[in-house]
Amino acid sequence: MTKAPHRPESLVLFGADRPLRLESGRTLTDVPVAFERYGPPDPRGTDTVFVCHALTGDAHVARHRPDDAPGWWESMVGPGRPIDTDRYQVICANVLGGCSGTLGPAPLADRTAWEPFPQVTVADMVAVHRELLRRLGVGRLHAVVGGSLGGMQALEWLLRHPRDAGRYGLIATSAQLSTDNLAFNAIARAAIRSDPRFRGGAYRAGEGPDAGLGIARMIGHLTYMSGASLQAKFDRDLAPPPQGVPAEGDASWGPFSVERYLEHQADKLVARFDANSYLCLTNAMDLFDPFATPYEDIAGAEPDVHLFSFASDRLYGVEHSRHIRERLEKAGVGCAHFHEETARGGHDAFLMDVPDYLEAVGRWLAAPARREATAPGVVSLPTTRTQQPRRSSNDVDA
């Protein structure tokens, strides 16, 4: 069956009389924002879940119909899924600085002059999300949910605007990147900037630093998978050489299947993503440190906060979620529940079909909102073995 991609909706926000003031002090006007809506209309917002996407995601979180192209979170969003589109209205918007319909550092088109896009922060992304909801007339949300960079957006939303939603789901995310995280991002950005076609960022559409962006993706993808999942998937299996290389190979090409896999992931990202957006968004992640500045009275808002993490995640491991929980507890959020999952899929496990994790999210969203009487603590999901997550057919990564 031919897949007919759903076209996102779009609104232009922040007119000249109401500009978007970035944390840097710069202002932006006439900001187009691409978004998609699923499920029954919900003008009040009490049954609306706002989903925040990860680094290379977009507004297309799930299929709208059987012949639609798959979304990036099919395991989580849809009819009968944990974020049930038969029950909830779901909204997902491409982030500020992205390259899928929302304003970002687009390639040079017919213009002869090029200006760098201003640095944006996670707080700026959330400001755009909130303005979109205001324009749509959506009131207090049932929940804000996101993983990885999406989880950072959900945490920022919780700290600055806790009364916007009754629930906040922070999945496989961080409140402050480690030095190790910063180093991987620095190497990825260096790969992009060192590509001769980068041209200081002033490249034309279709003429960008594809090689550099592909290497950046290969570096990032290694942090999305666990060592155990790589070993199980590839071991030391050999693969035919790529097209154009003699069957007997040569010294410039490695023979292993894992190499071909990483090259495939690089090609997929280059076909759909922009290098300047990659630089912009990874910089925003590096700068993210929301507990370092004053935030709202979270405890007074009594939010229902759940943190989901994966023991095999070597990007934002369990220690990142524990740090968030400790800071929230100090802020008086007694319902910051912590779920540690044993699936071996690594960071990308949050996108996969991991039954206990998905069931826990569904139970949490469906349960009556209330402050728990018991003291906060680790909520271990009921697993009797290490789960083997099932990757969706679209093979989308964080």
**Bridge-based pairing state of the strands 304-310 and 165-171:** parallel
Q: Which two tokens stand for residue 272?
A: 């759909």
Per the listing, tokens 């119909």 go with: 65
Residue 148 annotated in active site: yes
Per the listing, tokens 């491991």 go with: 317
* Distance (Å) of CA 331 to CA 142, 301, 336, 357: 22, 11, 10, 26
The active-site residue out of 313, 348, 353, 397 is: 313
- Whole-angstrom Cα distance, residue 129 to residue 114? 27
365 and 49 in contact (C-beta within 8 Å)? yes
- Whole-angstrom Cα distance, residue 25 to residue 48? 32
DSSP letter string over 229-254?
HHHHHHTT-B-PPPTTS-TT--TTS-
Residue 313 annotated in active site: yes
Q: Where are the beta strands (DSSP E) in the chain?
A: 9-13, 20-21, 27-28, 31-38, 48-52, 77-78, 83-84, 89-93, 141-147, 165-171, 304-310, 336-341, 378-380
Instruction: Find how far residue 367's CA is from the centre of its chain.
Output: 25
* Distance (Å) of CA 279 to CA 156, 216, 228, 261, 331: 20, 10, 29, 23, 33
The active-site residue out of 6, 64, 84, 148 is: 148
- Helix residue ranges, H only, 252-347: 257-270, 275-287, 298-301, 318-330
- Please count the other Cβ atoms lying within 10 Å of the Cβ belonging to residue 291: 17
- Whole-angstrom Cα distance, residue 61 to residue 54? 11
The active-site residue out of 347, 348, 353, 397 is: 347
Q: Which of 25, 74, 52, 24 is nearest to 280 (CA)?
A: 24
Residue 277 annotated in active site: no
Q: What is the amino acid identity at position 170?
A: L
Active site residues: 148, 313, 347
